[in-house]
Structure 1
Amino acid sequence: METHAYKYPRQKINGIWLIIAGIAMFLLLIKYNGYPNIWPFTIAYVLGMIWQLNPKTREKLAVGPGTMEQKKWSNFSIFLLAILVFVSFQFFADDYRTCWLLIILAVGVHFLPFIPVHGKLMLFLSISLIINAFIGLIITNVSLDVFFVIDGLIKILFGSIFIKLSPTNF
């Protein structure tokens, strides 16, 4: 039996993860004392991370292992996200709107190093999220919820595309 190596073996997992992350963004619409309640978001996000990093998930939905180069890019991307989010909290913790928009921006930027891991479509995902964040930072009279919804919709859209492009079926 001939085996075929795929350049981006985890597109389906990435797609499902993006949909989970998109849904988690909608959970930020739940308010506590007038501010986004981070607990529903955090629970969904953490459960999604546990799911996507689970070896059983990877065995079932990946079409092969990632390369060492892809693993390095993935690790760098997560490290970059952690640094950018930390910086957002360090300098803008008192302004929750700016802080959240900078986190959305950080997520968009952290998708750039994922291009070698999941393909060029990650560039368009990244650009879309970065533009959304910049518009939110520039146009301050639009509710933050609008940018949460747009961010969530972008992730769900791209997640669906990644699932469709993946060579694996459920």
Structure 2
Amino acid sequence: MAYRFIIADSPELRRMPWEKIEEEGLTRAILWNRLHPTLLDWLELVSPSTTLMGSAFDDEKGGELAGALWVVPSGLCGTVHFVIFKEWRADKVRLGREAVRWIFETWTLEALLAAFPACYRHLWAFMDALGFTPWPERLPKACHMPTAGNQTRCKDMALALLRRDEAR
């Protein structure tokens, strides 16, 4: 693997991606259900009581944080989320594939579900490159995405599935 993954099992490791998420202007993209996301919202999202979390480091670039992942488990499956930071986006497919491999090697999960706003068009090709199978159905208005002018705005949710035995 080109990246080093670790379980984010301490408050410091769970908080670490937030600074970079803010710096790169990704707070609303990641926490799309909040109008003004805060560190407390992030910590609630990645709470160890509900979420498995990992961090990806690039040791070739001085051990810098390249991305993070978090999985909300449900039985032996989980809903997975990724953030890949700007400097590593050109290598997002390799980083994503390594992340998926690491998830399946680290946790006893049988499948991963990607659930994301259908309007996030960039995620369709990324999910496909990682081997996820898109579901043809969308959940209508399942993503609460408030704006200053429309606190109740909701968008459709897209879903894609990757089973352990189908992972590349």
Do Structure 1 and Structure 2 share a fold, with TM-score over 0.5? no
Under TM normalisation by the shorter chain, which class is it? under 0.3
Higher percent of residues as helix:
1
TM-score (norm 2): 0.25
TM-score (norm 1): 0.25
- Larger of the two Rg values belongs to structure: 1
* Greater relative contact order (Cα < 8 A, sep 6+): 1
Higher percent of residues as strand:
2
